[in-house]
Structure 1
C-alpha cells in the first residue's frame, strides 16, 4: 500500500478543495461544482466564463490550477470570451509543463496577439469576482494572478499614454477595493 502526502496549500496545510476534502455536502453540490470537479480531474483545471453584466465587461478565471499544479489561479478581464479562455488555458498549459507563473512576469506565450503581464490579485476581490473558485477551495488564501493585457501601442493601463478604455475593461485587482480608483468595478 502506498501512502501519499496530502497536497499543501499556500499556508502549508493540506489542500482544502472539494476534491481533497469531504465537507459532508457532496450529495448537495450544484452542477457548477460537479462540472468543475470533472474538468479538474480530467484536464487539471476548469475555466469559468462570466458574461458581461451590470455595465461590467466579461471575465474568465481558472479553478484547479492550484490543486493540480500548485500554480496560481488566473483571471483575465474585458476581452472576447474565446480570447480570454485561450489566454488562461495557454498559461495553464505552461504551468502544467513546469514553466511557473509568477507576479511581475511579462509573458509572450499566452496569445499570439500581444504580451500580457501577471499581477497579484488582492484577496479582498475574491468574494466579489471569483466566487466559484472560493466554492471549490472553500477557504482562502490561495494565489490568484490577474492577466493584464496592453493597448495596441503595448502600454498597460497604469502606463502614461495608455488607452483609457483599458482601465474600464480591466480592473486593477492588485489594489485593494478601498484603494482602487472609483468606477464600475468598485460599485
Structure 2
C-alpha cells in the first residue's frame, strides 16, 4: 500500500506515541533550514511532571543518551524536575532556561500536536550551552558568531546585545 504525503503527520504522531508507550520519551530531531539551525526537543517529559527540553545545534548522538538518562533520573526522583543547571552529563555545564510557550511552539510542533490531543499544555526549558569562554547566550561577551547556532529563547534573563555593554544594564 502506498502512502501519500498527507499521511506523514499521522505517521509521525503514531511513532511518537509508540516511543512514549515503550520508552516513556520521544526525542524529536529537526534538520537545519535556511533560517533555523538544527534542534532537538523532547516529548514525554510533561507526563512525569517535568518540562520538555529544547536545544539547538547539538549533534543528536551527543544528546540522545544523555536525555534518556536525564529522563530516567527525573522519573525515578534522582534528579529534580525543576533543575536550572546540569553539570554532570556533558563536558560543559548546561543551563536550563524557561521559555514562553508561544516562543517554544514555533519549534515544537510535534509536541504541541501530541499534547493537544491529550488536552495538556507542556512547559518548556531551553538547554543552553556555553561558548569556549564559558559565556552563555544571554550573557554579555557570548561569542556572537555562535548566535545563529543557538537562538536564545529564555525568558528569565534578557539577552544582551553587543551594542549594550554591562554599563548600560547596571544603570537600567
Normalising by structure 1, we get a TM-score of: 0.70
**Aligned residue pairs: how many?**
150
Q: For the structure 1 residues 82 and 174, does the alpha-carbon distance in structure 2 shift closer, same or farther, using more than 3 Å as the test?
A: same
Structure 1 segments of 4+ aligned residues over 3 angstroms from their partners: none
**Cα-to-partner distance string for 1:7-55 (whole Å, 9 max, x where unaligned):** xxxxxxxxxxxxxxxxxxxxx9711111111111111110000001123
Match of 2:121 in 1: 141
Alignment partners' CA distance in 1, 2:133 and 2:72: 27
Please say if residues 60 and 85 of structure 1, whose CA atoms lie closer than 8 Å, have aligned partners that are also in contact.
no
Secondary structure of 2:127's counterpart equals strand
**Cα-to-partner distance string for 1:78-116 (whole Å, 9 max, x where unaligned):** 12222233443332232122112326x2211232x2110
The alignment status of 1:154 with 2:134, answered yes or no, reads yes
Q: For the structure 1 residues 157 and 127, does the alpha-carbon distance in structure 2 shift closer, same or farther, using more than 3 Å as the test?
A: closer
The alignment status of 1:75 with 2:54, answered yes or no, reads yes
Please say if residues 49 and 81 of structure 2, whose CA atoms lie closer than 8 Å, have aligned partners that are also in contact.
no
Q: Which runs of 5+ in 2 are unaligned?
A: 1-7, 161-172
Alignment partners' CA distance in 2, 1:166 and 1:97: 35
Please say if residues 99 and 153 of structure 2, whose CA atoms lie closer than 8 Å, have aligned partners that are also in contact.
yes
Please say if residues 61 and 130 of structure 1, whose CA atoms lie closer than 8 Å, have aligned partners that are also in contact.
yes
When the two chains are superposed, the root-mean-square deviation of aligned CA atoms in Å is 2.6
Secondary structure of 2:29's counterpart equals strand
Match of 1:59 in 2: 39
Normalising by structure 2, we get a TM-score of: 0.76
Please say if residues 77 and 84 of structure 1, whose CA atoms lie closer than 8 Å, have aligned partners that are also in contact.
no
The alignment status of 1:170 with 2:150, answered yes or no, reads yes
